[in-house]
Structure 1
Amino acid sequence: MSNTHWDPARYGLFGNERLRPAIDLISRLPKPASGFSPRHIVDLGCGPGSVTAILADAYGSSDPDGPRITGVDSSDEMLETARKRGENITWQKADIADWQPDAPVDLLFSNAALHWVPDHSKLFPRLLEHLRPGGIIAIQVPNNFLAPSHQLIGEAGMDWRKEVATAMHAARIMRPGDYFDVLTPACDEVDLWQTQYCHVLTGPDAVYNWTSSTILRPVMDALPDDEARAKFTAKYKERLNQVYPSRDDGRTLFPFNRLFMIARKKSA
């Protein structure tokens, strides 16, 4: 995914609809009042930094004695936007696939990013190695790959079947039970849950605008030329608007599934 250019403005069009899963994940984390006071927090795949700022606020980063917080992303565009923020956060360019911290981490957080990184059966044990004993890993990944929004990409891209299939394969996750199996050897506590959000979108081609800022980006990059992209886009928009019709008030309801996990690493 490092060759795909990300547009922070387009990604941020949906505001609270995109932030809500991250806020829900943060709300489930233990806080300093309960005795969990992380000194080193890392947000993997931090994007434009909006979620990192919420995470920082939850753990008192404005306090001089607050935790050290690092946002990690591979996109220059996203990090440029993040660095314009005023919070006391360190922004680091790195690919999650081979990222390593300079010191063990107390809270390793990632919202809607790890599905772009391959081979989670190997990735997760490696990430857990970077956690201190008793540290927490907290992850949210989209789990909407079987929904029409994603399946219709293949239908619209039948003329470029190989290119589209390869691009779509870049984003994938395991089954919930597989994450339980990969986390439990190193963790005492594993909490897994799934949520379906009903996002309320506005404007024409609402679902297309959502997917075009995320899952559709590698697909568009993989298509051979502008003519192919235009033909694909027309077909995809048409089918999306049939499956996700705009209501009389101009709003579109977009069900979207997400998988969450929080696990605490075993104490030494």
Structure 2
Amino acid sequence: MAGDIWNAQQYLRFENDRLRPFLDLITQLDPDGEVHTVVDLGCGPGNATALLVDWWPDARIVGVDSSPAMIEVAQQQAVPGQVEFELGDLRDWHPDGKVDVLLANAVLQWVPDHLDLLPSLAAQLAPGGVFGFQVPGNFEAPSHLALAEMKQRWGDRVPADLQKPASHDPAVYLGKLAEAGLEPDVWETTYTYLVAADPDPKVPCGVTEFVRGSALRPAIRALNESDAADFVAEYDALVRAAYPIREIGGRTVQLLPYRRIFAIGRAA
């Protein structure tokens, strides 16, 4: 993935909401035998990777990410001899030896043709090892349709070849894991997030801030500071209409439904 579009601080603004799917994935993993090596591909700022010690306290845990900004923040979570982080692209990543638990949480959607990578990733598993990943499945949601509309509006200033996240339906992943020789388990969940929102239209709303940490970043990075502010303001107007601000439990919020697709493959 060319360039570094990521801002760890912005991403972590919604740390709890982003962490929940990771934990829901981890709790379904059950590798056979002892776990010696755990690798978290696309580890981001490392906050989730560090939690893996609670599941596998005797394992060597390695977080890998292609973003220097994310790895710099992740190094704060490193524990000598137990948790380490390294810069690397999952498309050409190869471990020193076989892996007992391999994770790719909310990262494969950024990799074009990532289905083609599944066999090579599956091949890195030790016998009885598990490969688990999770990807967003909300690319037809209003938040992303608004982003697609914005890219059309700004076509003269936003490059057409920007990184565009994409995923597949659960049945596709199930079939690919089976073809790779793994025993598959695939499901989907729609979370409904309550995101704080300021009714002042001059302040970006909660949905805008949530998306700013992920899918919105390539477009923002492609623009100068002034244009980026205008782009975000126009996008914000669209998502305010799509996700009305309301009062719930004494809080001013927007409801953000967020579909995610989970997949686990177990090696024989």
The equivalent of 1:215 in structure 2 is 215
Is 1:77 equivalent to 2:76 in the alignment? no
How far 1:165 moved relative to its partner?
A: 4.8
- Rate the CA distance shift 1:112–1:91 in 2: closer, same or farther, 3 A: same
Is 1:50 equivalent to 2:47 in the alignment? yes
The sequence identity of aligned pairs, in percent, is: 38
Which residue identity is paired with 2:53?
A
How far does the alpha carbon of each residue in 1:235-266 deviate from its partner, in whole angstroms, 9 at most, with x for none?
Answer: 11001111112212212211000000011013
Equivalent-residue separation in structure 2 for 1:227 and 1:48 (angstroms): 28
Question: How many residues get paired?
Answer: 256
Which residue identity is paired with 1:45?
G
CA contact 1:22–1:140 (8 Å) conserved in 2: yes
CA contact 1:4–1:217 (8 Å) conserved in 2: no
What SS class does the counterpart of residue 50 from structure 1 fall into? coil
Equivalent-residue separation in structure 2 for 1:36 and 1:148 (angstroms): 44
Equivalent-residue separation in structure 2 for 1:240 and 1:113 (angstroms): 24
Provide the aligned C-alpha RMSD in A: 1.8
What SS class does the counterpart of residue 85 from structure 2 fall into? strand
How far does the alpha carbon of each residue in 1:189-235 deviate from its partner, in whole angstroms, 9 at most, with x for none?
Answer: 21100000001111331000011110111122334x44443332221
Equivalent-residue separation in structure 2 for 1:59 and 1:156 (angstroms): 44
Q: 1:192 aligns with which of 160, 164, 186?
A: 186
Is 1:127 equivalent to 2:126 in the alignment? no
The equivalent of 2:12 in structure 1 is 12
CA contact 2:191–2:259 (8 Å) conserved in 1: yes
Which residue identity is paired with 2:68?
D
How far 1:86 moved relative to its partner?
A: 5.0
Equivalent-residue separation in structure 1 for 2:91 and 2:242 (angstroms): 35
The equivalent of 1:237 in structure 2 is 236
CA contact 1:154–1:164 (8 Å) conserved in 2: no
Q: TM-score, normalised by structure 1?
A: 0.89
Equivalent-residue separation in structure 1 for 2:227 and 2:192 (angstroms): 32
Equivalent-residue separation in structure 2 for 1:227 and 1:83 (angstroms): 33
Gaps of 5+ in 2: 199-204
What SS class does the counterpart of residue 15 from structure 1 fall into? helix
CA contact 1:110–1:138 (8 Å) conserved in 2: yes
- 1:89-128 equivalences in 2 (<5 Å): 89-128=83-122
CA contact 2:78–2:85 (8 Å) conserved in 1: no
Equivalent-residue separation in structure 2 for 1:244 and 1:258 (angstroms): 19
Equivalent-residue separation in structure 1 for 2:215 and 2:78 (angstroms): 29
- Rate the CA distance shift 1:2–1:188 in 2: closer, same or farther, 3 A: closer
Q: TM-score, normalised by structure 2?
A: 0.89
What SS class does the counterpart of residue 155 from structure 2 fall into? helix
How far 1:55 moved relative to its partner?
A: 1.8
- Rate the CA distance shift 1:250–1:36 in 2: closer, same or farther, 3 A: farther
